[in-house]
Every structure is written in C-alpha cells, then in structure tokens.
Amino acid sequence: MKVFLEEKKKRNEILQMLLLQPKLVILDEIDSGLDVDAIKIICEGIKSNLLTNSSLIVITHYPRILNYLKPDFVHIMMDGKIIKSGNMELVDSLEKDGYNFLNN
C-alpha cells in the first residue's frame, strides 16, 4: 500500500510539473521508494508529456530509471565534480565493474 501511495504522489508531482511546461526539469532521486512497475509508469509519463524543447536532468544512484528514460548524456559525479561523461555505455560499465573501471 505504501508503494502505491508513493507512486501516486510522485505521479501527481510529475503531472503538476509538466503542466507548467518548464524548459528545464531537474528530478532528484525520483526512483526512491518505488518498485519496478512504478518506476516504469513514472518514466512513461515523463517521456510522453515532456515538451520536445525541454531539457531533463535526472539525479539517481540506480540505472533502472535511465534504462526507461534513455538519456542522451550520462555524467558520473564524485565529490561534487563530474569525473566522467558519456552515454548509456558508461552506465553499463559502472554496473558491471563498479567504480573500479574509472581507474583504467
């Protein structure tokens, strides 16, 4: 029940945000507290309602949301600095090898 309420709350927040038709959307950890199905629903709502001239920044620790949103660019931050940039291949490397791949 708690996951359902959290999903509903986040869906309402996303809807309110998108109704404002922002040029820049920053989403911080929107996947926290949500199960796999809820994350997919939230991402589908974002993708289908975000204006084409809007930009989206997603801050997350988990790649699942990125698999749904399909970002153009991925940046890894450490200690407040971007230490590596790339595309979804960067996320795949991070998932496979952890932060060790950054030392190579």
Residue 83's pLDDT is what? 92
Residue 89's pLDDT is what? 93
- Residue 18 sits in the same domain as residue 45: yes
* pLDDT category of residue 2 using cuts at 50, 70 and 90: low
- Residue 47 sits in the same domain as residue 91: no
65-104 tens-digit pLDDT: 999 999 999 999 988 999 999 999 999 988 888 888 777 6
Q: Answer whether residue 45 shows pLDDT above 70.
A: yes
- Residue 15 sits in the same domain as residue 40: yes
C-alpha span between 17 and 56 (Å, rounded): 12
Parent domain of 64: 1-70
Residue 4's pLDDT is what? 67
20-42 tens-digit pLDDT: 888 998 989 888 888 888 888 88
DSSP letters of 11-78? HHHHHHHHHT--SEEEEESTTTT--HHHHHHHHHHHHHHS-TT-EEEEE-S-THHHHHH--S-EEEEE
Residue 49's pLDDT is what? 79
Q: Answer whether residue 3 shows pLDDT above 80.
A: no
The candidate with the shortest Cα–Cα distance to 18, out of 39, 37, 42, is 42
Could you tell me which residues come within 8 angstroms of residue 36 by beta carbon, excluding any fewer than 6 positions away?
64
- Residue 54 sits in the same domain as residue 21: yes
Tokens of 44: 């589908």
- Residue 5 sits in the same domain as residue 22: yes
- Residue 61 sits in the same domain as residue 88: no
The candidate with the shortest Cα–Cα distance to 74, out of 45, 54, 52, 95, is 95
- Residue 53 sits in the same domain as residue 80: no
- Residue 77 sits in the same domain as residue 49: no
C-alpha span between 70 and 63 (Å, rounded): 10
Q: Answer whether residue 59 shows pLDDT above 90.
A: yes
The structural domain count of the chain equals 2
- Residue 62 sits in the same domain as residue 79: no
